[in-house]
Amino acid sequence: MVFLSNAVSDTRLKDKNESGQALFSTCVYGSRWTKEPIPKYSLPEEEMPSHIAYKLIKDDLQLDGNPVLNLASFVTTYMEEEAEKLMAENLSKNFIDYEEYPVSVELQNRCVNIIARLFNAPMDNPEAEAMGVSTIGSSEAIILAVLAMKKRWQKRRIAEGKPTDKPNLVMAASVQVCWEKATRYLEIEEKFVFLTEGTYILDPVKAVELVDENTIGVCVILGSTYTGHYEDAKTVNELLKQKNEENGWDVSIHIDAASGGFVAPFVNPDLVWDFRLDLVRSINVSGHKYGLCYAGIGWAIWKSKEYLPEELIFNVNYLGSDQASFTLNFSKGAANVISQYYILIRLGRAGFTSIMKNLMEIADYLAQKLEDTNVFDILSDRNGNGLPLVAFKLKIKDIHYDEFDVAQRLRERGWIVPAYTMAPHTQHIKLMRVVVREDFSRERCDILLQDLMATVELLNKLDKDTIFKKRTSTANWNLLKSVTRATFGGVKNESHKTNGVC
C-alpha cells in the first residue's frame, strides 16, 4: 500500500505489547496510566515509561504549597541558580564514601573550620583543636551533643564512685521539640525552666538553681522558636561557673544556635554567646535556616577533642579508608554539604551581613507597622536583639475571635502564618509568628500587612456563630487530610508542650 493510512480497529487498539503497554499511546495523557489510579498501596505489577512516571508524580506535587507565601518556616526556600546546579550535579554522591569522594568530604572540613572560627573557637592550641561534623539538621547535631555531655558526665561520676542512673538536662520550656526527643530517647530527665508572662526566655538564675549533681548540662537557645529572643548565655555562664566552683562540678553549656548562629555574628557582633564563654563546650547550628541552604544540613561543633568522649567515636574502615565517625546517619547525600560551602564562600562576611541586616530591618519595619495599627502587641525583640521574625498577638482580650482565626483566614488568601500557644506555663497566651527569610522583601511585607488588616476587619464584622462554624469545618478538613496517616492517641500526661513549633 502506498501512502494509504490504516485506520486502527477497536480490537487492535486494545492490543498490548509484551510489556503490557497500550500500543498506541505513550504520550503522558494519552496513555493508560492517566486514567488508572496511580499506584499507592502496593507495587504495581508492571513497569511504566520513565517520562510518564515523572509527569504523574510532578502533577501530584503541583498540589504542594507555594513556599514563597509560607511565613511559618525558618528553613530556606530560595537558593541561587548556581547553587541549585551544583546540588543537582552532586545528588549521586554518597557523602560517607571518603575513598570515592575525598573532595566532597574535604569541603565538610572547610565548612567546619569556617564555622568554628565564626563561633570564636579557640585557635591557639594545636593540641586542643575544635572539632565538628556535618549533620542532616540541628536535631541530629543536638542528639550528638547530648550524647557527648551524657557520656562525659557518666565517666566523671563513675570515677567518683557515684550513681549514674538519673542524668538530667536543664533547659527553657520553650526549647524546640528535638530537645525533648533527645532526652526521651537517651533517657535523660528534662528539668524545665518555665516561662512567665513577659519572660519568654530562660531565666539564668532559675536555670542555674535547677542544676544539681545529676545535671549533664544546661541548654541555652540563641533564637527562641517562639519569639526569636536570644537567651542570655553570658549570665548563665557566670552563674554556672560559680556553682561549678562551689560544688566541684563541671557542668557544661550547650548553645542551641539553630537559628541564631548565622545571624548574631553579623548583626550583633558584640553579643558574647559562643566559645568565648568558658563553659560553652558545644554549639549546633542549622545550615538550612539562616545558613541559607536547602533542607538537609546542620552543624555540630565542639570546643575541643576533650569534650568528645572517645568511646562515642567509631574508627571505621569504610571501603579501604580509615575515618573517625560520630554521626547518627551514615550514608547521606553530599549535595547539602557542598551547598553550604558554596554559600560560605559566595557570600563571605560581607554578603551575610548585608542579607541579615536587610532581614532585621524588614522585621523591625513589620513590627513597627503592626504596632501602629493598635490591633497587635509585639512579643519579639527588635534592633538585632533576636532573630528576624515578628511574634505578635491581638491586643484586645474580649473579642469573639482569636489568633487561630486570623491565621485560618489568612490561609484562605494563601499566606501561611502560624498561630500557636506559648510554652508551658504560659499556654494561655496565643500568638502568631512571621519569619523573615531571605526572600521576604519589603514589597511582600507590605502586601502581607494589607491582607492582615483586611482579615482583622472582616473578623471584626463576623458574628460569633459564623466563626465557630468555620473553626469546626477546618478541624474536620484537617482530619480528612490525615486519613492515610496513622495518628497516635497521644501520650498520657503529656505534661510539656506538644507544639513542635519550629
Give the whole-angstrom CA distance, residue 139 versus residue 176.
Answer: 9
Smallest gap from residue 6 Cβ to another protein (A) = 30
Contact by Cβ (8 Å): 416, 65: yes
* Closer residue to another protein in complex, CB, 145/211: 145
* Closer residue to another protein in complex, CB, 118/207: 118
* Closer residue to another protein in complex, CB, 90/237: 90
Smallest gap from residue 486 Cβ to another protein (A) = 5
Tell which residue, 293, 289, 286, 269, has the closest CA to residue 344. 293
* Closer residue to another protein in complex, CB, 143/222: 143
Give the whole-angstrom CA distance, residue 449 versus residue 366.
Answer: 8
Contact by Cβ (8 Å): 219, 212: no
Smallest gap from residue 212 Cβ to another protein (A) = 21
Smallest gap from residue 485 Cβ to another protein (A) = 6
Smallest gap from residue 255 Cβ to another protein (A) = 18
Contact by Cβ (8 Å): 121, 241: no
CA distances from 108 to 100, 104, 132, 291, 318 (A): 15, 7, 9, 14, 17
What per-residue string of b and e applies to 450-468 under the rule 16 or more CB within 10 Å gives b?
Answer: ebbeebbeebeeeeeeebe
Report helix, strand or coil for 144: helix
Give the whole-angstrom CA distance, residue 430 versus residue 377.
Answer: 11
* Closer residue to another protein in complex, CB, 86/271: 86
* Closer residue to another protein in complex, CB, 146/207: 146
* Closer residue to another protein in complex, CB, 235/304: 304
Within 119-216, residue ranges assigned H as helices are: 138-159, 177-185, 204-210
Tell which residue, 288, 342, 289, has the closest CA to residue 82. 342
Report helix, strand or coil for 199: strand
Beta strands at 215-221 and 168-172: parallel, antiparallel or unpaired: parallel
Smallest gap from residue 233 Cβ to another protein (A) = 21
Q: How many other CB atoms are there within 10 angstroms of residue 347's CB atom? A: 15
Smallest gap from residue 377 Cβ to another protein (A) = 21
* Closer residue to another protein in complex, CB, 3/41: 41
Give the whole-angstrom CA distance, residue 459 versus residue 5.
Answer: 66
Smallest gap from residue 189 Cβ to another protein (A) = 14
Angle CA(72)–CA(76)–CA(77) in degrees, nearest 5?
85
- What do you get for the CA distance between the two ends of the chain, in Å? 70
* Closer residue to another protein in complex, CB, 229/288: 288
* Closer residue to another protein in complex, CB, 323/460: 323
3-state secondary structure 213-230: CCEEEEEEEECCCCCCEE
Amino acid at residue number 191:
K
Cell numbers at 380, concatenated: 519579639
Smallest gap from residue 33 Cβ to another protein (A) = 9
Amino acid at residue number 330:
F
- Residue corresponding to grid cell 487561630: 404
- Residue corresponding to grid cell 558545644: 282
Asked if omega into 425 is within 30° of 0 (cis), the reply is yes
* Closer residue to another protein in complex, CB, 9/42: 42
Smallest gap from residue 153 Cβ to another protein (A) = 13
Smallest gap from residue 295 Cβ to another protein (A) = 4
* Closer residue to another protein in complex, CB, 370/502: 502
Smallest gap from residue 217 Cβ to another protein (A) = 17
